[in-house]
Structure 1
């Protein structure tokens, strides 16, 4: 994630027709980062890379096109976006500060993956407490995505800051001031997917 967001200010985030909330909006100028405009699905895709192999795709549907984009979220769509991303200078990128947190209960999922004994009476967890009548009753996974000026909790930031070219003919602005999608992946493994409908409530 870029570590050079600056000029955070209060701005409108449009929840829908005639409804908006004030949110802290981050701003970065002259960022060169992978970008793709999907004219079929009518959305803009911006990739912000983490240090290492992880990256986040921020998908901004055109107004009224969120359902269309969500309905098209298939592996082939993600591959198309990843194959089509090209470095592009974004003159002004606006992104709300937000944090998403969710818990997943895994005790029904893990047995399907072959992890059963630890939940049964046959479990031997005596090395933990010394007691033999110990078994796992619940496994909870918590996922957190925190986007702020310094990047995210997950990793340090990488980004390219360039000097504006005075001969620019088509300045480009991408403003995440309405509902958008976030997909975090690491070497083609999906880590996190979320829909940001209200940065104050996620």
Structure 2
């Protein structure tokens, strides 16, 4: 028997990107290689933001309509490994507690699509779930056959990030241009590898965690 767990997240941004501002731009894979990607752009976006000087990264929260938000984490150059090693529940709590609304003059974020599947037998065994994979498994409540056991566990995740949200949809974006004077202009370019975490806001439960190293690769 194969156990399949499939999750597909669909959400629309509270403040969609304006499609006419999407342009082709460079994404730096490393210090030497770049690829051309479709780069979405926001102007004068008021959204939660935190600069983590200890871990040398910037954190931007983009809210979905409903009870979900996305955290985009942009490590400084050469700091990705350090930020990844610090991805603990305590770190996420610090980021969430430290987020404050900030006017971002220019936000650049590439369009990307993620589709990944994992075999979880080894991971579940490490967590102590072993009997269901062995001859001692008793799944007779499903078919009446006492010889039934699980031979494979597959988890699949799909995520598309576009101007409208996480799936291409017919939505009209409205670009609002502010007139307030910003003494310290802020521009954030997600033009190098970054992390993304989608979580349910009521329970603060992470739904997706992703590392984007090349937006052109699924």
Return the TM-score normalized by structure 2.
0.77
Q: Distance in 2 between matches of 1:145 and 1:104?
A: 15
**Displacement, 1:105?**
2.6
| 3-state SS in 1 of match to 2:22 | strand
Indicate if the aligned counterparts of 1:33 and 1:160 stay in contact, CA closer than 8 A.
Answer: no
Report the equivalent of 1:28: 42
**Displacement, 1:87?**
0.9
Report the equivalent of 1:192: 208
Q: Distance in 2 between matches of 1:39 and 1:135?
A: 50
1:123-176 deviation per Cα after TM superposition (whole angstroms, max 9, x unaligned): 2334xxxx8576654332211121011110399x9x996541242222211110
Aligned match for 1:124, one of 117, 138, 141: 141
| 3-state SS in 1 of match to 2:91 | helix
**Displacement, 1:34?**
0.6
**Displacement, 1:76?**
1.3
Which structure has greater strand proportion?
1
Report the equivalent of 1:5: 18
**Count of matched residue positions in the alignment of Structure 1 and Structure 2:** 196
Q: RMSD value over aligned CA atoms?
A: 3.0
| 3-state SS in 2 of match to 1:18 | coil
**Displacement, 1:191?**
1.5
Where does structure 2 lack aligned partners over 5 or more consecutive residues?
A: 1-12
Instruction: Give matches, 1:177-188, under 5 Å.
Output: 177-186=191-200, 187-188=203-204
Q: Aligned in 2, Cα 1:49/1:19: closer, same or farther, shift over 3 Å? A: same
Q: Distance in 2 between matches of 1:152 and 1:3?
A: 11
Q: Aligned in 2, Cα 1:83/1:63: closer, same or farther, shift over 3 Å? A: same
Report the equivalent of 2:189: 175
* Bigger Cα displacement from structure 2, 38-47 vs 159-168: 159-168
Where does structure 1 lack aligned partners over 5 or more consecutive residues?
A: none
Indicate if the aligned counterparts of 1:92 and 1:173 stay in contact, CA closer than 8 A.
Answer: yes
Report the equivalent of 2:6: none
